[in-house]
Amino acid sequence: MRQDGLYWGPMTQPRVVPVPCLSDNYAYLVHLPGSTDTLVVDPSEPGPVEAALAQHGLTLVGILATHHHMDHVGGNEALAASREGLPIVASKYDENRVPGVTKLVNDGDTFDIAGLHVRCITVPGHTLGAVSFVIGDAVFTGDTLFIGGCGRLFEGTPAQMYDSLCVRLAALPGDTRVYCGHEYTASNARFAAVVEPGNDAITKLAERAKAAGQNKEPTVPSTIAAELAHNPFMRVREPSYKARYGSDDPATVLGKVRAEKDNFRG
Ligand SMILES: [Zn+2]
């Protein structure tokens, strides 16, 4: 990218290193290949992030918070304590509930950090301050879009989640890499198979999740195109969903799919 912010030629895409945290969370180191400056997305705890920084020889220059839940921001202050002035970015909505936040962003805001160009998309639904960060061909979706699923509606409405998933995130290029906040793929694929039996993309997702689990490997990243093919929450406009849930309104259908998933034990 040029200093004036205009792109030219093929862009160097960021390298993304998943950092497993807590029981099933992911933090992510994001940096340009060849640069040691790195961002971390959603550091729920400092230990695994510090270990990954040391392992990869990277220098932390900023934190991005997708939302205020402690299993996404619990490591902010410990990581910032030994790095004076470390920027911590979160939604303006979460001004008073993301620890250590230094930079507040609104929908559509862009900024440059660690040699990377970051674009913010507000995605209310799981929480009202949820934001996704687009960096090159990657998007960090926190607990809004999971592989094969979405987050619970703790604060937002089905209509908000529909807009976030099926309008805003769905508009990203199909080959955009999707990095989400939790490893829930196996369970999500089992639920998806109940909602939409006979969908080959869901069968493939279940097989992929099973193989990853056996090899103790993450299922991230997915892509936007793959999510549109196998994620029930992004498929609520399909005729079979209208029939199963008895509504022509996709936001209403999404709410019903979400309620069914909330009670799913599989
Ligand atoms: Zn959350």
Q: What tens digit of pLDDT does each residue of 191-230 get?
A: 999 999 999 999 999 999 999 999 999 999 999 999 999 9
Share of the chain above pLDDT 90, in %: 95
- Going from the Cα of 71 to the center of ligand 1, the distance in angstroms, rounded, reads 7
| pLDDT attached to residue 266 | 72
**pLDDT band at residue 1 using 50, 70 and 90 as cut-offs:** very low
Q: Residues 93-99: what's their mean pLDDT?
A: 98
Contact 20, 50 (CB under 8 A): no
Q: Residues 176-196: what's their mean pLDDT?
A: 98
- Going from the Cα of 5 to the center of ligand 1, the distance in angstroms, rounded, reads 32
Mean pLDDT of the chain: 95
CA 1 vs CA 24, 60, 221: distances in Å? 35, 21, 24
Contact 45, 21 (CB under 8 A): yes
- Going from the Cα of 200 to the center of ligand 1, the distance in angstroms, rounded, reads 29
Known active-site residue 31? no
Which of the following is catalytic: 42, 72, 94, 163? 72
Tell me how crowded residue 11 is: count the other CB atoms within 10 A of its CB.
11
Known active-site residue 67? yes
Contact 43, 75 (CB under 8 A): yes
| pLDDT attached to residue 10 | 56
CATH code, residues 15-262: 3.60.15.10
Known active-site residue 56? no
Domains of the chain, by residue range, sit at: 15-262
- Going from the Cα of 184 to the center of ligand 1, the distance in angstroms, rounded, reads 13
Which of the following is catalytic: 31, 42, 68, 71? 71
Known active-site residue 182? yes
- Going from the Cα of 262 to the center of ligand 1, the distance in angstroms, rounded, reads 14
Known active-site residue 72? yes
- Going from the Cα of 146 to the center of ligand 1, the distance in angstroms, rounded, reads 11
Known active-site residue 117? no
**pLDDT band at residue 62 using 50, 70 and 90 as cut-offs:** very high
- Report how far residue 63's alpha carbon sits from residue 46's, in angstroms, rounded to the nearest whole number: 12
- Going from the Cα of 67 to the center of ligand 1, the distance in angstroms, rounded, reads 7
Which of the following is catalytic: 31, 68, 69, 230? 69
Q: Residues 47-61: what's their mean pLDDT?
A: 98
